[in-house]
Structure 1
Amino acid sequence: MTTKRGLITDSFKVVKKGRRGGKRQKQRATPPPSPQQESDSEAVREDELHKLRQFDLDWRFGPCTGISRLQRWERAKLHGLDPPEEIRELLLLQTHTDPEYTLSLWREYPL
């Protein structure tokens, strides 16, 4: 006695999904950045992050837990502690939304 073994499509209805929005337009592929450009931008990013970490570690500007780097810079300026303008430029003019730029080195530690 042999049993007839069917396909899975014999048990389940085949449903074809239609395309959403009709035909897709061909998009131009943007060329990948050259390795030199990537290494330069990575080097600049690492240099900026290093400066920001040094700002976090400098206790002359007060504690940095629980506030952003820009808030800390503004507080230090308000109290006449002369924080570096370069840090403010990195935080304001670059307008990074990356938490590595905006939040302090101690962001992962509980208060």
Structure 2
Amino acid sequence: MGRKRLITDSYPVGKRREGPTRTSKGELAADPGETPQSPGRDVDLTELALLRQFDLAWQYGPCTGITRLQRWHRAEEMGLDPPREVHQVLQTHQGDPRFQYSLWHIYPL
């Protein structure tokens, strides 16, 4: 009787090359269409993290069904003292839906 067949017998074995087109083990390769991160992108991620914290802060009232700016103004009118940094971020990114809508806007009411 011969040896037991393995699944690897069906596929050719090739050696991996480490080179400029490949990454070493443990590193992620950049997507072909992806540009390297710029400092502006880091600022955007920091600002989005601030807005996520605002969304999760229950003391400013519910955030479903309204924009972040509407929620900020409602909290201001009610005397809840929402963070000024959130208002500044929302004013600087008025046309960008990533900044205007809360975490929950993709879920139906």
Task: Name the TM-score class by shorter chain.
Answer: 0.5 to 0.7
In 1, Cα distance between equivalents of 2:104 and 2:94? 18
Percent of pairs with identical residues: 53
2:60/2:71 contact within 8 Å kept: yes
Give CA-to-partner distance per residue, 1:73-102, whole Å, 9 cap, x none. 00000001000001001111x143111100
Q: Which amino acid aligns with 2:107?
A: Y
Shift of residue 57 of structure 1? 0.3
Partner SS, residue 76 of structure 2: helix
Structure 1 residue aligned with 2:106: 108
After superposing on structure 2, the runs of 4+ consecutive aligned residues of structure 1 that deviate more than 3 Å are none
Gaps of 5+ in 2: 1-34
In 2, Cα distance between equivalents of 1:107 and 1:81? 23
Give CA-to-partner distance per residue, 1:16-61, whole Å, 9 cap, x none. xxxxxxxxxxxxxxxxxx95xx520110000000000000000000
RMSD over aligned Cα atoms? 1.4
In 2, Cα distance between equivalents of 1:42 and 1:95? 13
In 1, Cα distance between equivalents of 2:47 and 2:76? 20
Structure 2 residue aligned with 1:18: none
Partner SS, residue 80 of structure 1: coil
Structure 2 residue aligned with 1:42: 41
Structure 2 residue aligned with 1:25: none
Q: What TM-score, normalized by structure 2, do the two folds share? A: 0.65
